[in-house]
Amino acid sequence: MVDFRVEKDSMGEVRVPSSAYWGASTQRAVDNFPVSGRRFPRRFIAAVGLIKWAAATTNEAMGVVEPKIAEAIRSAAEEVIDGRLDEHFPLDIFQTGSGTSTNTNANEVIANRATEILGGDRGSRLVHPNDHVNNGQSSNDVIPTAIHLAALGAVRDDLIPALERLRDSLTAFSDRTQDVVKVGRTHLMDATPVTFGQVFGGYAAQISLGIDRVRDASIRLGALPLGGTAVGTGLNADPGFAPKAIAALRERTGLEVREAENHFEAQSAKDACVETSGQLRTIAVSLMKIANDVRWMGSGPRAGIGELRIPDLQPGSSIMPGKVNPVMSEMTTQVAAQVMGNDAAIAIAGAMSNFELNVFMPLITHNLLESIALLGAAARLFSDKCITGLEPDAERALALVEQTFPIVTALVPAIGYDVAAEISKEAFKTGRSIRDVALARGVLGEKELDEALDLMKMTQGGIVAPGLGGG
């Protein structure tokens, strides 16, 4: 049996579980939105707590809330920030589009806990959820501010370090394989030679650029809507409230946050979140490409390409003994697909901003923070459990490149495209090597052919044909 107490809001009385810190308005939302069972992420709840902490500090300093109440609010907010009251944030992410239910949830939980701290009973409103906890604020500026704070913190603390780790492991592999030649491939077909070092250096550059992109988007994400209250005008908020509260947030978190220059833009649209998600999608695209390439280069190991040895992590089949699969690549590509899907939902959500307010903010919150968390985890695991354990099969890679026909490209400056094409076609038809066919045709002498068909020189660009810049 569950014990209840009666709480009131502007619509009347509601029965609330006695053990709950939330109040009447939250209970209405619990009853109205039993949709998915998905709750707001921990980072977001902590961000809401941070805003309430900063608001109480600011309101006390401005003489709006008396010191003992402000101190009790701060103490309760600290418990929200630390996660000690997470069970009292029960609301589904699919709810009112402004996130008003969740802001109200925070106001009621903090008010009731602060009331207890002051020796009062839950529901007595010794500390009032609206007049005290929400003073100078609206759900319409609190929720988007919390999204920005949570995303900025997650990017800084989780995503960028993981991407840097992956970039560094790709760079390390590149550095130690600069002299290992392999087949270049375009259109999934053989192309002129490259080195593993060149290929993996390209992957490292992709990740490095992804870091730059998300850092650049974070600049726009650092503009906080706090202070705009209901529609951006700042009604019922002292003009000094937002600058002081945001300064407190900046000092405590170390995040580069500032008051939005235009509160109407900041609340009526969520373009900074859409932009950030787009950069996350770009990183996901990079990870998809890199992880796919790695598993293809490691495919086989006998009947595939097999020029790269991927770490053996777990049995790959319940029926085929000894089979091992590229599981970290598969995990990474699945994460990339999910992030791309999240981005599509965020784009739709951003487009659904109507007049002075976006009403898809809970969905934006969930998908944006999930994308950041997924990419961070995938990048870290892909780095640690795959890239750091990669080994090139240099002997097989060299054997493959020696069998390819595009190496005839190096002869073109000396013998022309048409003759080179004939040599390539004859080599393919007869199964002979490019060198053997070219030597038989007498297009170049044996020494000149050896110089022109130097595989390592081909990876370094320029003209390698003797007498034309390479001999």
**Nearest-10 Cα torsion for 367, 368, 374, 377:** -150
pLDDT of res. 467: 75
- For every one of its 471 residues, what pLDDT tens digit does the chain have, with 9 covering 90 and above? 679 999 988 899 999 999 999 999 999 999 999 999 999 999 999 999 999 999 999 999 999 999 999 999 999 999 999 999 999 999 999 999 999 999 999 999 999 999 999 999 999 999 999 999 999 999 999 999 999 999 999 999 999 999 999 999 999 999 999 999 999 999 999 999 999 999 999 999 999 999 999 999 999 999 999 999 999 999 999 999 999 999 999 999 999 999 999 999 999 999 999 999 999 999 999 999 999 999 999 999 899 999 999 999 999 989 999 999 999 999 999 999 999 999 999 999 999 999 999 999 999 999 999 999 999 999 999 999 999 999 999 999 999 999 999 999 999 999 999 999 999 999 999 999 999 999 999 999 999 999 999 999 999 999 988 777 765
Whether residue 360 sits in one domain with residue 276: yes
Tell me if 110 is assigned to some domain. Answer: yes
The reported pTM is: 0.96
124 and 194 share one domain: no
| Residue 297 one-letter amino acid | M
Sign of the alpha-carbon dihedral angle for 98, 102, 108, 114: negative
Same domain? 64 vs 122 = yes
For residue 88, indicate whether it is catalytic. no
Query: Do 335 and 304 belong together in one domain?
Result: yes
Task: Please answer whether residues 247 and 205 qualify as being in contact, where contact means their C-beta atoms are separated by less than 8 angstroms.
Answer: no
Does any domain span residue 348? yes
Q: Residues with Cβ < 8 Å from 440, sequence gap 6 or more?
A: none
In a domain, 465, yes or no: no
**Co-location of 162 and 42 in the same domain:** no
Q: What local confidence, expressed as pLDDT, does residue 441 receive?
A: 95
Same domain, residue pair 209 and 77: no
- CATH number (domain holding residue 105): 1.10.275.10
d(CA 207, CA 19): 48
Provide the residue range defining the domain that includes 39. Answer: 20-135
Evaluate whether residue 452 is within a structural domain: yes
- pLDDT, residue 1, reads 60
Q: What is the pLDDT of residue 468?
A: 75
Task: Report strand pairing: 12-17 vs 4-9.
Answer: antiparallel
Does residue 72 contact residue 118 with C-beta atoms inside 8 Å?
yes
The single residue of 317, 318, 329, 433 carrying the catalytic annotation is 317
CA atoms of 257 and 247, how far apart (whole Å)? 8
Q: Are residues 38 and 105 in the same domain?
A: yes
pLDDT given for residue 465 in this prediction:
84
Q: What is the rounded distance in angstroms from the CA atom of residue 425 to the CA atom of residue 353?
A: 60
Among 187, 286, 371, 424, the one annotated catalytic: 187
CATH number at residue 439: 1.10.40.30
The number of distinct structural domains making up the chain is 3
pLDDT of amino acid 9: 87
In angstroms, rounded to a whole number, what is the distance separating the alpha carbons of residues 266 and 274? 12
- The domain boundary, picked from 84, 117, 135, lies at 135
pLDDT value of position 470: 66
Q: Are residues 113 and 26 in the same domain?
A: yes
Identify the pLDDT of residue 340.
98
Residue 10 lies in a domain: no
Measured distance CA(256)–CA(250) in Å, rounded:
6
For residue 464, count CB atoms less than 10 angstroms from its CB and return exposed for 0-12, middle for 13-18, buried for 19 or more: buried
Q: Is residue 373 part of a domain?
A: yes
State the DSSP H helix or E strand holding residue 315, giving kind and residue range, or none if neither: none
Helix (H) or strand (E) holding 115: helix 100-117
Q: Which of 135, 169, 202 corresponds to the end of one domain?
A: 135
